Amino acid sequence: MKLKNPPVNSLSLELLTELVISLEKLENDKTFRGIILTSGASPAGGCLISLTCDYRVLADNPKYVIGLNETLLGIIAPFWFKDTLMNTIGHRASELALQLGILFPPAEALQVGMVDKVVPEDQVQSTALSVMAQWLSIPDHARQLTKNMMRKPTADRLVKHRDSDIQNFVSFISRDSIQKSLQVYLGKLRQKKG
């Protein structure tokens, strides 16, 4: 799959529908491995998609950042974003990243563990193919069971609390103060583009 909706791969209904269909197909294929190549900005949902992959390769470009920047919009990341981030970079780094809405440039993303490898832009695809070959060489049953063991508690918690999370989010995002905060943030983005 390739996301190509510059400047930040905004998540539209069409994109999310295609993503869900593709993910459902992949979910039924236990041999699937997820390697993500990132050559662009990955804030918020883009970061989450990256964090759910088995391996993350980011192009070395100072314009490319990755992180959960929800607080900059005046909202909070859902608990399952937080859990996934904590599983990847640890508690304290997650606490700082989430509260400050940090968008990590490549070197810092690598240092904190947000990505697994940073390479020159022209080497992103070849690096990902090389990494994929390594993953494909591992006996699938052992890899899949190990992955499940590591990620199951987070997935189970999401499934268990999905309905209450949706209700909490809708209630939170509908507040006048939150809507105003989002308008201010979007206004700043428009000014940057203009």
Cβ-contact 33, 136 below 8 angstroms:
yes
The two three-digit tokens of residue 64, written as one number = 């490319």
Element (H, E) at 98: helix 91-100
Report the C-alpha gap between 14 and 2 in whole angstroms: 14
Within a domain: residue 91?
yes
- For residue 4, the model assigns a pLDDT of 61
pTM (two decimals): 0.78
Query: Would you say residue 8 lies in a domain?
Result: no
Burial class (CB in 10 A: 0-12, 13-18, 19+), 56: buried
Parent domain of 80: 13-193
Looking at the domain assignment, is residue 3 inside a domain? no
Residue 132 inside a domain? The answer is yes
What pLDDT does residue 90 have?
Answer: 97
Whether residue 2 lies inside any domain: the answer is no
Q: What is the pLDDT along the chain (194 residues), one digit of tens a residue?
A: 566 655 555 666 777 787 778 777 777 776 666 777 777 788 888 899 899 889 999 999 999 999 999 998 888 999 999 999 999 999 999 999 999 999 999 999 999 999 999 999 999 999 999 999 998 899 988 988 999 999 999 999 999 999 999 899 889 888 998 888 888 888 887 887 76
Identify any residues that bridge with 104 across adjacent strands, giving them in sequence order.
Answer: 66
For residue 126, what is the domain's CATH number?
3.90.226.10
Both tokens of 119, joined, read 């390479």
Helix, strand, or coil (residue 74): coil
Residue 77 confidence (pLDDT): 92
The single-letter DSSP state of residue 9 is T
Burial class (CB in 10 A: 0-12, 13-18, 19+), 156: exposed
> How many structural domains are present in the chain?
1
Angle at 14 between CA 10 and CA 17, to 5 degrees: 110
